[in-house]
Amino acid sequence: MPFSEIIGQDRAISVLKRSIALDRVAHAYLFSGIEGCGKKRTALAMVQAVFCGKEDACGVCPSCRKIANGQHPDLHILEPDGAFIKIDQIRELQKELAYRPFEAPKKACIIDGAEKLNLSSGNALLKTLEEPPGNALMILITAERSAVLQTILSRCQTLDFQPLPAEMVEARLLREQFPAEAARVAASLSGGSLKRAVEVATDGVLEGRVNFLERVLALNLKDVNALFAAAEEFAADKEGLPGFLELLLSFLRDVLIYRSTPEALANSDLAHLVAREAERSPQQRIIDLIEQLVATRRMLVRNVNARLALEVFFMRLAER
């Protein structure tokens, strides 16, 4: 995964390439940005370049191929075990980093989900961040910088990754052979995330969002059993829940702008639903719902009870 294959992150990549060329690579980085904007791909590209000994990896040498296949003995990737990254995982990583590199000039690790470091595991990592053994390269990745421990932030060089432009996402989907209409709608709903766009463009997802929106917009406080059942069902789908909430947020934004710029709808194929909701909902109510939904998403990242969080939001949504 050379830097040249990553789209939309020219500024961050320029900083990294310059540090490699000047031999001034920091010992610890924090890559921060929305899910699916290229942070992990960039982290892998950086490790490839450092191991390859070039400003940008060649992509074809044995080291580059092993990283691409997830088989390089000197690269360690750490992800949350359940809700958190646990202290035992950090201790095992520290043990691995203490060994001499097998092939590469140094050891490297990528910690994907730095916001999932709790107080104990985060504190255990601090000494390693300050003085990585053997000059190891450590790259932490997060979609929620505000949720990362301040002690971790202060020990890393932070790089911000930007949401990808919709036209860039659409072009990538077309290159990957998605139908033109699906690529257009998915790009507009992606929020700048290529990962999200691919999920939305997948067969059935675009159609399923209509059923989802119709269901939640029909919730009513006179039928709290249906409201609680919906909250329980969506909360149980841990993989799909972030996507559902992103769809709803995109829809509410369209409702907000419908009266002034109806031609700018992200959900242009659902203009009839947007118009219906705009007619029956005052502008301030939509603003309040958007704020509540953003707060709900933030709480879910912090691992609050998803069902309870959705019940509270759905009750707000069902008020008429």
Which strand (E) or helix (H) includes residue 277?
A: helix 271-280
| Domains of the chain and any CATH numbers | 3-160 (3.40.50.300), 204-318 (1.20.272.10)
Whole-number Å distance between alpha carbons of 288 and 293 = 9
Give pLDDT < 70 ranges for the chain. 203-205
Task: Report the SS3 class of residue 191.
Answer: coil
The per-residue pLDDT for 188 is: 81
Percent of the chain scored above 70 by pLDDT? 99
The per-residue pLDDT for 82 is: 83
First-to-final CA distance of the chain: 51
> What does 295-316 look like in DSSP terms, one character per residue?
HHHHHHHTT--HHHHHHHHHHH
**Are 125 and 29 in contact, with CB atoms under 8 Å apart?**
no
Tokens of 165: 């432009």
Tell me the pTM: 0.77
The per-residue pLDDT for 53 is: 84
Whole-number Å distance between alpha carbons of 52 and 31 = 21
The per-residue pLDDT for 170 is: 92
The per-residue pLDDT for 150 is: 93
Chain centre to alpha carbon of residue 199? 13
Whole-number Å distance between alpha carbons of 284 and 292 = 12
